[in-house]
Structures are given as C-alpha cells and as structure tokens.
Amino acid sequence: MPELPEVETIRRELHALLPLKIKEVIAGKYLDTFLDPKGLIKSLANSVLFDLERKGKYLFWHVHLSSKNKNTKYLLSHLGMSGRWLLHSDIAHLAAHTHLTLSLIPVSPADPTQLPLPIYLSYIDPRRFGKIALLSAQEFLIIKNNLGIDALSTELTTEYLSTIIEKYPRRSIKKILLDQHLIAGIGNYLASETLARAGIHPLRNGKDIKAVEIPKLKTALFRALTVSLRRQGVSFDGAYKNTHGEEGSALNKLVVFRQEYCGICKVNKVVKIFQDGRGSYFCPHCQK
C-alpha cells in the first residue's frame, strides 16, 4: 500500500506540470460505483488544476471550475491498496483497471501559436480500495483537520511524540505510529522501519517507551522517510509505481521490512510476526 514517500513522489511529479486545464473526463465503468458515487468528477471538464498538496497519504488538487470561476474546489485522491496515477500520451490503449482518465492541456503553452497537445492522466486501481472525490472547501478542511500531523512536517516534534505516546499507554507503539489521526502518512512498512532504526520492539506499549527513546524515534522516522523518498518509494508485489509507470527502488535499502537479514547489525535474521492482523518485521537483537 502506498505510504507517505510513494504519495509524495507522485505529488512532486504531478505538481511540476501545473497549472493544467482538464479538456475531457473519460470515466471507466467502475468510476461511479467504486470511486465517485456522487458523480461529481464528470463535471470537471474545463476546470483548471492549479495546485496539488498532500497530507499523510491523501492528495488534494486545488481546482478552479473554469478559467472564470475562481471558486476553489478540491479533488481528493487516496490510493488505497493498489491505486496509482499514470501519465501517458496514447489514449487508444488504456491500461487494465483504469477507472478515470483526464485529458489535460497546459494553461500557458510554451508556444502560444501552437495548439497544445493533450497529455493523459489515468487513475488505475486493480483492487479498487482507493478514493477520488470532489470536495467543497469545507469538506476539504474537515478531512484535512481530521488527520494528525504529517510525518514529514516540522510540527512533528519530540514533544508531540511524547504527548501522543503518553496518551495511549496501553497501545503498542506500532499501533500509535499507524494511527492516521495522530501522525498522517505512516503505513506498515514505515512503522517497521522506524522502530527498527530506533531500536524499539514493535510490541512494546506506550507506557514502556522511555523518554530517552523518543528523540531516537523521531530521528528514525525522518531517516526512514528520507531513504524512501530519495528512491521514489518502495514497490513490492507490483502495487506501487510512479506516474511514469516505474517502480520505486527503496526496497533493498530497507533495514527490516521484507528483508532476510537485519540492515542495522547485518548479522541477525529478521523476524516476522503478525500484529493486529498485519506483518511486523523486527530484529530480535537490535530491537528491545
């Protein structure tokens, strides 16, 4: 499932192309049933995408409904388990499981005497757990404010980490890290990587985390994020690809997640356990 580094990679690639005008919206047969029950996406023809922000694992395009109507709406995208956005120039052959294709043209073409060529941006999602929705400013703020502090934000201080860990003394530290209402953007692989780099066992509860370990946890999280971001994210089981259809290359730089040997001590075998129904990877030697 795409986590913060994968979603941020997509955001950076798409943000570089803005502003873009939507010339046409081409809906796949499952768009209404799975992704957009209100049917609002189809009304986006002629609107302008002028900004793209991310919080946690959510992307929010800022949209003007036309070049004249400067009322801002927000196009939400959550990739779920297997969602991705793909840029392409050929509309004749859409990838399997394409649910939505936007035909886009630059708002200010480099050469105004030439008709700008459309580029196509498709949303592909084999398992269809993703979400796309057009939101009002109010709906956008409710969703955004419901999320905790973004894992990459400078607002994620050791004080904040201490507060949330103290608040849930009987929850495992891994579960605290995964709670999107507390910290937004961490999923299963980032939680495993963060705890490994901090030397903290994933089954330990909030009350057992010592004050001295909290700065280590913060540094470990930042390091785990940076390792992934630099390599355009982590791909495994073919799920995540960037907007050019390429896999991220961070998997072999991870220290425990889906690794045979621990990348910290380089000696001990990584152990996988099931914790709250999901795989937790850790090194019994490095993580106490």
**Where does this chain bind Zn ion (CB under 5 A)?**
262, 264-265, 268, 283, 285-286
Q: Which residues are bridge partners to 155 per DSSP?
A: none
Instruction: Return the structure tokens found at 22.
Output: 């939507």
The residue among 100 and 283 lying less far from Zn ion, judged by its C-beta, is 283
The residue among 211 and 265 lying less far from Zn ion, judged by its C-beta, is 265
The residue among 226 and 268 lying less far from Zn ion, judged by its C-beta, is 268
Strand locations in 28-137 (E): 48-55, 58-64, 72-78, 84-88, 98-106, 119-124, 131-135
Minimum CB separation from Zn ion for residue 280, in Å? Answer: 15
The residue among 194 and 235 lying less far from Zn ion, judged by its C-beta, is 194
The residue among 228 and 287 lying less far from Zn ion, judged by its C-beta, is 287
On whether the CB atoms of residues 72 and 79 are closer than 8 A, the answer is no
Which helix (H) or strand (E) segment is 177 a member of? helix 173-178
Minimum CB separation from Zn ion for residue 63, in Å? Answer: 47
Minimum CB separation from Zn ion for residue 197, in Å? Answer: 11
Minimum CB separation from Zn ion for residue 233, in Å? Answer: 24
Q: Sign of torsion, CA 152 143 119 36? A: positive
Minimum CB separation from Zn ion for residue 186, in Å? Answer: 21
What residue type is 273 in one-letter code? I
On whether the CB atoms of residues 144 and 60 are closer than 8 A, the answer is yes
